[in-house]
Amino acid sequence: MVHSEEYKAKRLARKQRFMQQAKKNNVFKARRRNNFSRRPNYHNGPQNENNYEKAPKQDSTALRQRGFFQVLPTDDLPNVPECSHGPCLLFEKKNGPEVEETFFSCAIYRNQDEFCDFKLQYNKETGEIEVKEGEDSEKKKKKKKKIFGYNRIPKALTEMKPTDTVLYCKDCINVFANKHECVCEPVEKEALAKPTNLLPPVNEQHGESQFFFSEETLGVIVKAVEKSKVDGILCIGAPRIFENIRASHPEKNVFLLDYDKRFAKFFPSKQYAQYSMLVDHFFDKNAEPKLMEFFQNSKSILLITDPPFGVFMEPLLKTIEKMKQRFVSTGKEITSFYSMIVLPIYIRKYVLHDNFWMSDYRVTYVGHKLYQYPEKTIVRLFNNLPKSCIDLKNVEGYKFCEPCDRYVTKNNVHCERCDACTSVEQGKWNHCDQCDKCVKPRYVHCAECERCHLYGRCIQKY
C-alpha cells in the first residue's frame, strides 16, 4: 500500500505523541521490570470477541488451549453423548472465523490424553454424531448401577460403643472400631464432619482442581452467609463451605453438589449429590427430587460456587440460571435467590451485570503455589448480595470506603470522576479523560483505536 507524505507525517506524529505519553506513565520501566512484553495474550471467550485480557503466567497453557474453543448449547439436541464422566459438552474449534471442527467431549476433564480422550465429531448441518467402535462398552459401563454409600461413616459411628476407639482408613474411606487391617489412625468424631481435612485433594490440572479455601477465606464467606440471613445454602463445588456451615449452623438448610463422590460417604442423600456442573447432570436419578425438597424447605437461597480454574463460563452461568428456575418453581420470589461465584478477575466481564459486583477481597487457598498468598491471588468473590455482607473489618489489608459503601483494598483509591474505587488488581488505576473511565496503571490512551491499552498492543496495528 502506498501512503501519501501527509498521511505518513500524521502517523509519525501520532506515534511520537503515544511514545511520549507512554514514557510519562513509566510504561517502559514497568515493561523491563516485569518482562511482560513476552507474555502472550489469552482470551476466555469466542475468538472474535475483542474482550481478551492478560491472564497470569501460571494458567497460560490451559487458557491458550481453551482460547480457540467455544461451548455450544445442546438443549435442542435429541441425544447428547456420554463418556464415563457423564454427558459431554459440545465444542466448536475455530481458527479465526473458520470453524475447524465441532465435537462432543468430556465435561469434567479437558486434559484429553491423560484423563479422558472421549471425542465424537458432530455434523451441525445434518445433526449426525460420529459412531465409534467401543462405544457400546462405554454405554454398558454407564448402565452399571452406581452405589454411592451415602452417610456410611456417620451410620457406622452410631453403631459403635462410646468406649470404642474410632479408626479412620483413608484408603477404604471408612471408620472402624478399635482395629482394621490397613494402616490407619484414631480420629475424633467431630473431625469426620469435615472431610475436606481428611481427604487428599484431587488436583489434576484440567479436571477437578480441588483447592480448598484458607481459614481466612472460609471465615469471610461464612460471615457473608450469616449476614445475608438466607436460610438455604447451595454449595456447588464448594465442599469446605458446605461442611463448615453444616457444622456451625445446624438450623440452616444446606446442600452440596460436587463431582467428587467421596463426599457421599460423609453426608446423607438429602444434603449431597454427585453432579456435573457444566451440564447440570445428577449421577443419581433420585438426587434431583432431593434438591427440590431442599428448595421447597428454604425461604431464600445463597448459591456458592467455586468452579475449577479455567472453567467455561457460558455453561456455568446457564447452570446457575437453572438452579434459580428450580427455586422459583417452588413458588418463591426470584429476588430471594442470591449467588456468589468465586472466579479469577480476568473473567469478570462475564459476571458483572445486573446486581453483581466484585468484592476486593483476595481469595486464598491452602497449598496453591500462588493463590495461597493474598498479594498473589487473582481470585475474587463475585456476588449479588448486599454490599454489607462482605465484611472485612477484621481482615488485614482492607479499609472501608464510605462513598462506595464497601470494603476495598488499602491501596485502592476512590476516583472522583468515576465515583468508585476503581483498582481491580494491586496498584492505583489512572483516570483517562478520553475513555472517561479508570484504566490499568500501565495503559496509555491510543488515538488510533481511541481506547487505552498496553503500549504496542493496538488492535488496529500500524
Ligand X SMILES: C[S@@+](CC[C@H](N)C(=O)[O-])C[C@H]1O[C@@H](n2cnc3c(N)ncnc32)[C@H](O)[C@@H]1O
Relative to beta strand 272-276, strand 253-258 is parallel
241 is an interface residue for ligand X by CB under 6 A: yes
Q: Alpha-carbon distance 66 to 47, whole Å?
A: 10
Q: 146 vs 299, which CB is nearer to Zn ion?
A: 146
DSSP 4: -
- Beta carbon of residue 93, minimum distance to Zn ion (angstroms, whole number): 18
- Beta carbon of residue 385, minimum distance to Zn ion (angstroms, whole number): 18
44 is an interface residue for ligand X by CB under 6 A: no
DSSP 293: H
- Beta carbon of residue 91, minimum distance to ligand X (angstroms, whole number): 15
412 is an interface residue for ligand X by CB under 6 A: no
Size of the site for ligand X (CB under 6 A): 21
Nine cell digits for residue 123:
455434523
CA dihedral 410, 412, 416, 417 (to 10 degrees): -170
- Beta carbon of residue 147, minimum distance to ligand X (angstroms, whole number): 19
The DSSP code sequence of 127-170 is --B---TTHHHHHHHHHSPP---TTHHHHHHHTS-TTSPEEEET
Q: Alpha-carbon distance 69 to 90, whole Å?
A: 10
Given Zn ion, ligand X, none, residue 315, with its beta carbon under 5 to 8 Å by kind, binds none
Tell me which residue has cell 445446624: 250
Q: 259 vs 455, which CB is nearer to ligand X?
A: 259
Given Zn ion, ligand X, none, residue 116, with its beta carbon under 5 to 8 Å by kind, binds Zn ion
Q: 173 vs 245, which CB is nearer to Zn ion?
A: 173
Q: 240 vs 445, which CB is nearer to ligand X?
A: 240
Residues numbered 106-165 forming contacts with ligand X, rule: CB under 6 A = 108
3-state secondary structure at position 428: coil
- Beta carbon of residue 211, minimum distance to ligand X (angstroms, whole number): 5
Given Zn ion, ligand X, none, residue 211, with its beta carbon under 5 to 8 Å by kind, binds ligand X
Given Zn ion, ligand X, none, residue 177, with its beta carbon under 5 to 8 Å by kind, binds none
Q: Do 370 and 377 form a contact (C-beta atoms < 8 A)?
A: yes
> How remote is the C-alpha of 347 from its chain's centroid?
9
CA dihedral 215, 218, 219, 222 (to 10 degrees): -160
Binding segment for ligand X among 91-99, 236-244, 345-353, 408-416 (CB under 6 A)? 236-244
Q: Alpha-carbon distance 416 to 303, whole Å?
A: 34
Q: Please, which residues bridge with residue 213 across strands?
A: 365
Which residue in the set 209, 364, 422, 423 belongs to the binding site for ligand X (CB under 6 A)? 209
The DSSP code sequence of 304-331 is EE-PPTT--HHHHHHHHHHHHHHHHTTT
Tell me which residue has cell 420470589: 333
Query: Which residues here bind Zn ion, judged by CB under 5 A?
Result: 83, 85, 106, 116, 118, 169, 171-172, 182, 401, 404, 414-415, 417-418, 421, 431-432, 434-435, 438, 445-446, 448-449, 452, 458
Given ligand X, Zn ion, none, residue 401, with its beta carbon under 5 to 8 Å by kind, binds Zn ion
CA angle 142, 143, 149 (to 5 degrees): 85
273 is an interface residue for ligand X by CB under 6 A: no
Which residue in the set 44, 74, 105, 210 belongs to the binding site for ligand X (CB under 6 A)? 210
Give me the residues that bind ligand X (CB under 6 A), please. 108, 208-213, 237-241, 258-260, 275-278, 306, 308
